[in-house]
Amino acid sequence: MRISDTAYPIEKDWRKWVIFDGALDRVVAVFLQRLAAYSRDILKRPIHFIAGFRTYDMQLKLWNNYKYNGGPYANYPGNSWHEFSCACDVHGPSSNWGEIMRDYILPPGKQTMNKYGIYITCWAGAQVREWWHLMPMEIMSYTGTKSTFLTDDVVNGEDEMKLNDNGPDVLSWQNALVKVGKWALVDGVPTPKPNSNPIRTSDPPRKPTPTHSRSPSVCRRTES
Ligand SMILES: [Zn+2]
Report the Cα 11 to chain-centroid distance in Å.
15
CA of 21 to the centre of ligand 1 (A): 14
CA of 137 to the centre of ligand 1 (A): 15
In terms of pLDDT, which residue wins out, 86 or 219?
Answer: 86
Which has the minimum average pLDDT: 17-21, 55-59, 61-65, 219-223?
219-223
What is the pLDDT confidence band of residue 217, given thresholds at 50, 70 and 90? very low
Dihedral sign, CA of 87, 90, 96, 97?
Answer: positive
Q: Give distance in angstroms: CA of 130 to centre of ligand 1.
A: 7
- In the chain, what are the domains? 14-148 (3.30.1380.10), 161-224 (no CATH)
> What is the distance in A from the centroid of ligand 1 to the CA of 6?
25
Instruction: Compute CA distances 152 → 29, 31, 48, 158, 219, whole Å.
Output: 12, 14, 27, 12, 68
Cα of 180 to ligand 1 centre, how many Å?
A: 43
Q: Give the Å distance between the CA of 219 and the centre of ligand 1.
A: 74
pLDDT in tens, 95-153: 667 777 777 777 778 888 999 999 886 555 555 567 788 999 999 889 999 999 999 89
204 CA → ligand 1 middle, Å: 50
**88 CB-contact burial (10 Å; exposed 0-12 / middle 13-18 / buried 19+):** buried
Tell me how far the alpha carbon of residue 66 lies from the centroid of ligand 1, in angstroms.
13
Q: d(Cα 140, Cα 109) in Å, to the nearest integer?
A: 9
Q: What is the 3-state secondary structure (H, E, C) of 84-105?
A: HCCCEEECHHHCCHHHHHHHHC
Alpha carbon of 52 to ligand 1 centroid (Å): 8
* pLDDT 10s digits, 151-206: 989 999 886 666 666 666 777 778 878 888 777 778 777 665 545 455 555 555 56
At 5-47, the pLDDT tens digits run 999 999 999 999 999 999 999 999 999 999 999 999 998 999 9
Q: How confident is the model at residue 209 (pLDDT cuts 50, 70, 90)?
A: low
The set of residues, in sequence order, having a beta carbon less than 8 Å from that of 124 and lying 6+ positions away, is none
Q: How far is the CA of 159 from the centre of ligand 1 (A)?
A: 24
pTM above 0.85, yes or no: no
Ligand 1: distance of its center to the CA of 80 in Å? 8
